[in-house]
Structure 1
Amino acid sequence: MEVTYQSLHEQDYKSLNDQLKNKDSLDVLKWAYQTFGNELVYSCSFGAEGMVLIDLISKVKKDAKIVFLDTDFHFKETYELIEQVKNKYPTLTIELKKPSLTPVEQSEIHGEELWKTNPDLCCQLRKLTPLESVLSEHQAWISGLRREQSPTRANTQFINKDQRFQSIKVCPLIHWTEEEIWMYIKLHKLPYNALHDQNFPSIGCEFCTKPVQPGEDPRSGRWAGSAKKECGLHLGDKQKNN
């Protein structure tokens, strides 16, 4: 049976996860690329988890496609890291996907500093809609979600039905701890975003990301001062519609 979003039912996801439950991240990636081939894309934010996944993916499929949602608002350190990754893994295909609106056009239509007045709309225009465009061309996508990151991610499985994007979401790192992520980065001497050394555990757009103090929630620096904690890429239908 061809594995597609349309062909899989709830029981199929349970069966697949039962088959993979004792496998490691590399095995999950091997299964994913054997199953989907070029129909699989990695949407990477180039955070710490991203660096681990890129390295693992390079061991499984050297010409894998990686997409970065380039909102035009990222830190210079993030763009510098992407160039380092391109040099380290020259056979990977890394695409920077931009929104349809330039920052100037967005300001003209929706007003200045939309990330302050309506952050959900800003994320929709600059991240969600571009990713919808990418995923419309692929059967499945890879994400670096880990269960310990937040309560909304605690039930993430290796293989997930992604109703938000009508796609199959593969999450190979669900069991990894933050300590294990950084052990892997240090052990394999991987490049990483310099902002991680400046109290930025989670890095998004420059205007919406602040440093986090010791003991605070690692994601408390994202959309600081608001109730918003997710851009919407990983919210289920119920959360998305609220």
Structure 2
Amino acid sequence: MINLNNVNNLTLNEKKNFLYTQNIILKNMSAKERISWALENLPGVHILTSSFGIHSLVSLHLMIQQKKDIPVVIIDTGYLFPETYHFIDKISKKLELNLKIFRPKISSAWQEVRYGKLWKKGLTGIELYNNLNKVDPMKRALKDLSVNTWFAGLRFNQSNIRSSFSILNLHQNIFKFLPIFDWNQKMIDDYTTYYQLDIHPLYKKGYISVGDIHTTIPFQSGMLESETRFFGLKRECGLHEKNKY
């Protein structure tokens, strides 16, 4: 039996074999069953990350049904939409979330003085912007909270990078668990309707994905979903790209 509390001591083949075998089993479980298995079998500390985006309450609701006090990590770049800040306040109070907010070490104002408006400097500028405002704070969150298992609401059909993930992944030496990884949009909508979950207010204004105010635009007919973020230059902000860690 593999000791999951000592992942560092596993060989590469042991890690691959465990992930492969367990993902076959997890594939046939419901999201609730997956979460229950993960909380029981994967090492703590457990956290859930949330962007408080359009349909973010699905993963939040699923998790807090089984672990009410799970730390919910939000990365505050300083450039979120006003609607997002209001949404975070509303949902945090309503669900009594154990919210953990992490921010960049350099303020948004100081960054603009030092680097200019990075999001206007093409892909290179966007990459630096994401590293400063998203990836570095997330690294700090993982370290400061001593995280061993990271839950997230990613789905395989959201981007090419995400399609390469599985339900259970190893993110460096941290388990990353994606309980709704294989859900389609109808499943998300049905769950949202059944439990009468809140939806981000910008959804009514045509947004299907919400990030920072200057790199997110509403969806328009004929667009790809990826074109609503980062001017179509990229889809991911770096939080879930393994090479960033």
TM-score (norm. length: structure 2): 0.89
Q: 2:18, 2:194 → 1: CA distance?
A: 37
Offset at 1:215? 4.2
Q: Does 1:211 align with 2:218?
A: yes
Which AA in structure 1 matches 2:94?
K
What pairs with 1:1-242 in structure 2 (closer than 5 Å)? 1-8=3-10, 9-36=15-42, 38-90=44-96, 92-110=97-115, 112-117=116-121, 118-136=125-143, 137-163=146-172, 166-224=173-231, 226-237=232-243
Which AA in structure 2 matches 1:223?
F
Q: 2:242, 2:134 → 1: CA distance?
A: 16
Which AA in structure 1 matches 2:151?
I
In structure 2, the residue corresponding to 1:161 is in which secondary structure?
Answer: strand
Q: 1:7, 1:214 → 2: CA distance?
A: 51
Q: 1:2, 1:235 → 2: CA distance?
A: 23
The one-character-per-residue Cα deviations of 1:74-127 (angstroms, maximum 9, x if unpaired) are 00111111112112211x3012211111112212322x2122220110100000
Is the 8 Å Cα contact of residues 67 and 94 (structure 1) preserved in structure 2?
yes
Which AA in structure 1 matches 2:58?
V
Which AA in structure 1 matches 2:219?
V
Q: 2:86, 2:128 → 1: CA distance?
A: 27
**Identity value in percent:** 28
The one-character-per-residue Cα deviations of 1:128-164 (angstroms, maximum 9, x if unpaired) are 000011112201211111112122222321101213x
Which AA in structure 1 matches 2:132?
L
Q: 1:235, 1:27 → 2: CA distance?
A: 27
* Cα separation, partners in 2 of 1:5 and 1:115, compared to 1, 3 Å: farther
Q: 2:54, 2:32 → 1: CA distance?
A: 17
Offset at 1:235? 2.4
Is the 8 Å Cα contact of residues 99 and 127 (structure 1) preserved in structure 2?
yes
TM-score (norm. length: structure 1): 0.90
* Cα separation, partners in 2 of 1:231 and 1:5, compared to 1, 3 Å: farther
Deviates more, 1:228-237 or 1:185-194: 228-237
Is the 8 Å Cα contact of residues 42 and 175 (structure 2) preserved in structure 1?
no
Cα root mean square deviation, aligned = 1.9
Instruction: Point out where structure 1 has 5 or more consecutive residues left out of the alignment.
Output: none
Is the 8 Å Cα contact of residues 146 and 176 (structure 1) preserved in structure 2?
yes
